[in-house]
């Protein structure tokens, strides 16, 4: 698993670490650090959602288990994506190409029927 998938609680863009977030939730930060974390939460929906979700988990062991499960599910979902794209293809053709070809064939058949009916009349 890549480093990005192994640490889903990293908020490098906001400058907040997982450790700081956990200390914030436990009330172990200074007033200045609390303000910094709260300002980052205002700017980041992801960080505020993570803080809200983590505040609902009371046991640290349970939190680590949940984190590992999320990381595993995320890795699984990211690896499934190419399989889904393979199923959409017919050989080397994309579904859109098949649709366009079928539409062209139907139009040709319709045109041939119209010409046939006009010649017959």
Give the pLDDT confidence score for residue 12 in this predicted structure.
52
Q: 46 or 90: whose pLDDT is higher?
A: 46
Neighbouring C-alpha atoms within 13 Å toward the C-beta of 22: 11
Give residue 103's pLDDT: 96
Q: What's the rounded Cα separation, in Å, for the pair 111 and 43? A: 60
Question: How confident is residue 42, by pLDDT bands cut at 50, 70 and 90?
Answer: confident
Q: Do the beta carbons of residue 10 and residue 22 sit within 8 Å?
A: no
pLDDT tens digits, one per residue of 57-115: 767 677 778 778 877 887 887 777 666 566 665 666 677 888 999 999 999 999 999 99
pTM to 2 decimal places: 0.46
Task: Tell me which residue of 24, 19, 51, 18 sits closest to 36, measured CA to CA.
Answer: 24
* CB-based contact 54:44 (threshold 8 Å): no
């Amino acid at each position: 698993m890549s480093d990005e998938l192994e640490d889903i609680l990293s908020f490098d863009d906001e400058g907040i670490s997982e450790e700081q977030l956990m200390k914030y939730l436990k009330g172990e930060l200074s007033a200045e650090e609390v303000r910094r974390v709260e300002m980052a939460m205002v700017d980041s929906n992801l960080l505020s959602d993570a803080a809200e979700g983590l505040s609902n988990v009371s046991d640290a062991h349970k939190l680590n288990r949940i984190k590992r499960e999320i990381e595993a599910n995320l890795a699984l979902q990211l690896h499934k994506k190419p399989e889904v794209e393979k199923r959409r293809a017919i050989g080397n053709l994309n579904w859109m190409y098949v649709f366009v070809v079928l539409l062209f064939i139907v139009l040709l058949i319709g045109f041939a029927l119209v010409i046939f009916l006009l010649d017959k009349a």
